[in-house]
Structure 1
Amino acid sequence: MKFAFFGDVVGRSGREGLAEHLPGLRRRLDLEFVIVNGENAAAGFGITESTARELFDAGADALTLGNHSWDQKEALTYIVREPRLIRPLNYPKLADAPGRGAQLFETHSGKRILVVNLLGRVFMDALDDPFAAVDAELEACPLGMAADAVVVDIHAEATSEKMAMGHFCDGRASLVVGTHSHVPTADAQLLPGGTAYQTDAGACADYDSVIGNQKEEPLRRFTTRISGGRYKPAEGPATVCGVYVETDDRTGLARRIEPIRIGGRLSQTIPVLESVQA
């Protein structure tokens, strides 16, 4: 199977960048499935039904979320009606969070792909153990048996927690990829057990910014420790960042992972689909 995962879409710039580049990438790479992290799609904070529809119209088959899942209150009801929208799996049971943290999808060719969204706990909101949560999900829907591919989006701050999750899922997932940091890492690799891994997919955002936000307010807070207003998404041309993965049709394990960086500023520094193979 050939599929792609794209990092956090930040505001209008990210949505427009995805709409511009994703249709061509789907054709060029013959993508069977596309997953996009959309938790910053609505003005940089959360997601709405209308912004989700823009991402689906651009070519996304599933959307994952993160720590900003409920910043837009309509997401609490929209996610109940939209099975393609996936929130973190490891909310406490007492929270009775709406929606679902994992979903098994069927592609147009009849292949099954499990998408799991997790929220890290280091320097993040104190949710339940993401390792225990994903372990139960992978046991319930094993790769190569119940699912032809498994994708785990670990939305976390600490690179160590993301890397630990990659190794924890190695051999049981097709791809473990980090989101939340908004900066693409240079460690795309195939782990020893056959799982594709990258610490952070990066963002679909204007990189003339501070992680996708207009520069003035973050600089003010760092230099004066005084807030001057709300963060606002940068509005220049977006770089669309993500990863491309090919899996073995028999095992569901990865045979190839390559970074995707197209448009905006970052595409000038790393060629699109520069080969990274074991």
Structure 2
Amino acid sequence: MRIIFIGDVMGPIGQETLTTYLPKLKAKYRPQLTIVNGENIAMGKGITKSLYKTILTAGADVVTMGNHTFDKDDIYEFIDDANKLIRPANFPAQHTPGKGYVLTKVNQTTVGVINLQGRVFLDSIDDPFAKVDEILAEIQAQCDYIFLDFHAETTSEKEAMGYYVDGRVTAVVGTHTHVQTNDAKILPKGTAYLTDVGMTGPYDEILGMRKERVIERFLNHRPVRFETPLSGRGQLNGCVIDFSSTKNAARKIELIQITPDQPFLE
């Protein structure tokens, strides 16, 4: 069993890069499941129904989100009917539309995909550690494998989650910081781990936003409006994970990085 996970798709450049390279990556790696984080696809903040469909058309089977899930009002009109879209499960359940996990069938294999959000330097929503316990109690018996997109700011919180669920889920991959980390590994009890998968979007900007505006903020310490560019060179970051034949264990995790300096090789 093999999956591909593609990091935060950022704005128009991210859309173009995803639609260009995801089909090629699927042809090269032949994954049974493809997951894409889409929380930044709408000009850097949020997602719309048409862009959700763009991600699916590009080849995604599941779309995960993050702290920008509800930045576009359009999402309230379709999230409850979007069977392949999940948002952080630890948003307060009583008041939040959508769902935080999905079970998907691949031939005779059931894969659970969970989305959670960290709380360090982000909104103080429900406890992700307590929430993952709750979800695993509900779905673990039904799943052969479980993938967790942990959308969080700090390395320490992501690592803590990885070790907390080691052996109980197949893979924990972080999103949100937009810079791919070089710490892909298999944890002691068999869970594949990566602190941050990186982003898919502008290559010559700062975290996907126009570098001039970000630099201006650092120079004058006054509020500026961050913007994601409409055109320019792109990058795609992701990972490929091979699951073991053992339940909730991984055999291998490999980084994917496509940039102008590291072009895609067939």
Query: Normalised by the shorter chain, which TM-score bucket?
Result: over 0.9
Q: Is the 8 A contact 2:167 2:248 kept in 1?
A: no
Q: Does 1:215 align with 2:206?
A: no
Counterpart residue number, 1:198:
194
Q: Which residue of 2 aligns with 1:183?
A: 179
Q: Are 2:161 and 1:165 aligned?
A: yes
Give the unaligned 5+ runs of structure 1. 273-278
Structure 2 residue runs without a partner (length 5+) = none
Question: Counterparts in 2 of 1:222-241, with a 5 A limit?
Answer: 222-233=218-229, 235-241=231-237
Cross-structure match for 1:138: 136
- CA-to-aligned-CA distance 1:185-236 (integer Å, 9 cap, x gap): 0000000010000000000012211101111111111111123434224632
Partner Cα separation in structure 2 for residue 65 and residue 155 of structure 1: 8
Question: Partner residue of 1:68?
Answer: 68
Output the amino acid matched with 1:87.
Answer: R
After TM superposition, the structure 1 stretch with the greater mean CA deviation from structure 2, 48-57 or 242-251, is 242-251
Structure 2 residue matching 1:164: 3-state secondary structure: helix
Change in 2 beyond 3 A, CA 1:111/1:237: farther
Provide the aligned C-alpha RMSD in A. Answer: 1.7
Q: What's 1:154 paired with? A: 150
1:106 and 2:102 equivalent? no
User: Is residue 21 of structure 1 aligned with residue 32 of structure 2?
Assistant: no
What is the one-letter code of the residue matched to 1:63?
A: V
8 Å Cα contact 1:92/1:127 also seen in 2: yes
Alignment length, in residue pairs? 266
TM-score calculated relative to the size of structure 2: 0.95
Q: Distance in 1 between matches of 2:92 and 2:16?
A: 35
The yes-or-no answer on 1:117 pairing with 2:98 is no
C-alpha deviations, 1:164-198, integer Å up to 9, x for none? 00001100111101000000000000000100000
Q: 1: CA distance between counterparts of 2:76 and 2:137?
A: 28
* Equivalent residue in structure 2 for 1:256, among 228, 246, 252: 252
Q: Which moved more, 1:82-91 or 1:220-229?
A: 220-229
> In the aligned structure 2, how far is the partner of 1:60 from the partner of 1:186?
24
Q: For residue 64 of structure 1, report the CA deviation from its aligned partner.
A: 0.6
- 1:110 is displaced (CA, Å) by 3.1
Asked if structure 2 preserves the Cα contact closer than 8 Å seen for 1:155 and 1:179, the reply is: yes
Cα separation, 1, equivalents of 2:19 and 2:144: 28
- Specify the code of the residue in structure 1 equivalent to 2:108: G
SS of the aligned residue for 1:74 comes to helix
TM-score calculated relative to the size of structure 1? 0.91
Q: Counterpart amino acid of 2:245?
A: D
- Partner residue in 2 for 1:39: 39
Deviation sequence 1:109-139 (CA, Å, 0-9, x none): 2321111101100000110000000111112
Q: Secondary structure of 2:238's match?
A: strand
Confirm or deny: 8 A CA contact 2:191 2:248 kept in the other structure.
no
